[in-house]
């Protein structure tokens, strides 16, 4: 394997514009603007944003299939536009609708072709394929032509194809789309192993935020082409208000439990039998809140809920 550089992804002032419309209606659209990113070897980073935010455009520049309008970038120590072929040896990509598999060939043959293209040694290829086959459960469909595979089967094939040559960086766009819950969990666990045990850097774009919670400690959020947040998930939670909720189930319906110290919002459900009390850690604690509720109503059950990163990201989009 080639030497691992200090920074796997480094961009400075990255920008991409497109020209849209015809003749007099022609105008420039700025898809990505001023993106500065530094991702170190071994990191797993979630790259999130609403539709049209500029995620795919950024990824296309990172993997060398789109030339930036301005800015500087290096991926795995290489210039993606000028050294695209060298980069392909260090990079694994699972990118939405684009397949790297041969539609009419059985999955196994696609893997063989990819191994030959990347000049992977036979034993290495065998070891990696065996591991993926076992962990991702490819056994039942290795000899089926790709066009006959379900989306979930194909995605597992795509992930295998992206890993066969032992990349330094794995770029994943919606890798768990079309998978049932069990396969999703299996793939997440596998990707986590690839990241932690093998040290492969992961850049993950997904609308499935549990993927991010499971795999990434850091999240970069992009909106309207600009990075609006780049931080550890925990820090983002704290920064965005970080409201936690104590959810109380009562033995009898009660009026909204307003006026408890430190509570920002009370939401009543099930006719007052369940109430959700949002608070900011620092203002009060879950324990103090539970005692205060217990003094006013009889409790049947209590849970403390962390904000999901879904809420968190939604709030970030709303802020900027």
Ligand X SMILES: Nc1ncnc2c1ncn2[C@@H]1O[C@H](COP(=O)(O)OP(=O)(O)OP(=O)(O)O)[C@@H](O)[C@H]1O
Binding-site ranges for ligand X (CB under 6 A): 18, 20, 29, 31, 49, 51-57
Nearest-approach distance from CB 177 to ligand X, in angstroms:
12
Scanning the chain, the segments in alpha helix (DSSP H) are 55-62, 84-90, 107-117, 122-136, 151-163, 181-196, 209-215, 233-239, 286-296, 309-319
* Bridge-based pairing state of the strands 27-39 and 9-20: antiparallel
Nearest-approach distance from CB 247 to ligand X, in angstroms:
32
Closer residue to ligand X (CB): 17 or 109: 17
Nearest-approach distance from CB 97 to ligand X, in angstroms:
10
Closer residue to ligand X (CB): 14 or 107: 14
Distance from C-alpha of 88 to C-alpha of 171, rounded to nearest angstrom: 12
Distance from C-alpha of 266 to C-alpha of 256, rounded to nearest angstrom: 7
Closest by CA to 94, choosing from 182, 183, 203, is 203
**126: Cβ–Cβ under 8 A, 6 or more apart, which residues?**
none
Nearest-approach distance from CB 131 to ligand X, in angstroms:
31
Is residue 26 classed as helix, strand or coil in its secondary structure? Answer: coil
Q: Which residues pair with 278 in a beta bridge?
A: 245, 265
Closer residue to ligand X (CB): 64 or 242: 64
Nearest-approach distance from CB 207 to ligand X, in angstroms:
7
Name the token pair of 180.
């049932």
Name the token pair of 1.
């394997």
Closer residue to ligand X (CB): 61 or 132: 61
Name the token pair of 104.
């009419």
Closer residue to ligand X (CB): 56 or 183: 56
* Bridge-based pairing state of the strands 91-95 and 169-173: parallel
Closer residue to ligand X (CB): 41 or 96: 96
Nearest-approach distance from CB 59 to ligand X, in angstroms:
8
Closest by CA to 14, choosing from 53, 91, 67, is 67
Closer residue to ligand X (CB): 9 or 138: 9
Name the token pair of 106.
């059985």
Nearest-approach distance from CB 17 to ligand X, in angstroms:
9
- Say if residues 57 and 16 touch (Cβ distance below 8 Å): yes
């Amino acid at each position: 394997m080639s030497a691992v550089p200090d920074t796997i992804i480094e961009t400075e002032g990255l920008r991409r514009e497109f020209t849209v419309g015809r003749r007099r209606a022609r105008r420039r659209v700025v898809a990505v603007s001023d993106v500065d990113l530094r991702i170190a070897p071994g990191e797993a980073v979630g790259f999130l944003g609403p539709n049209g935010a500029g995620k795919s455009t950024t990824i296309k520049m990172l993997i060398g299939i789109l030339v930036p309008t301005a800015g500087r970038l290096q991926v795995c120590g290489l210039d993606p536009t000028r050294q695209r072929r060298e980069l392909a040896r260090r990079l694994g990509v699972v990118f939405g609708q684009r397949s790297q598999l041969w539609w009419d060939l059985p999955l196994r043959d696609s893997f063989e072709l990819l191994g030959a293209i990347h000049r992977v040694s036979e034993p290495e290829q065998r070891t990696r394929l065996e591991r993926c086959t076992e962990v991702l459960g490819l056994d039942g469909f290795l000899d089926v032509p790709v066009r006959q595979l379900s989306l979930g089967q194909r995605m597992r094939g795509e992930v295998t194809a992206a890993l066969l040559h032992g990349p330094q960086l794995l770029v994943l766009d919606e890798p768990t789309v079309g998978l049932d819950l069990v396969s999703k969990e299996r793939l997440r666990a596998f990707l986590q192993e690839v990241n932690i045990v093998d040290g492969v850097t992961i850049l993950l774009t997904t609308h499935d935020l549990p993927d991010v919670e499971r795999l990434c400690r850091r999240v970069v959020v992009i909106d309207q082409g600009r990075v609006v947040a780049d931080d550890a998930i925990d820090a983002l939670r704290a920064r965005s208000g970080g409201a936690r909720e104590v959810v109380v189930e009562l033995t009898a319906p009660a009026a909204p439990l307003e006026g408890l110290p430190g509570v920002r919002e009370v939401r009543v459900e099930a006719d007052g039998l369940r109430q959700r009390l949002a608070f900011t850690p620092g203002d009060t604690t879950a324990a103090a809140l539970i005692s205060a509720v217990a003094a006013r109503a009889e409790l049947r059950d209590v849970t403390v809920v962390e904000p999901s990163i879904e809420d968190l990201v939604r709030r970030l989009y709303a802020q900027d």
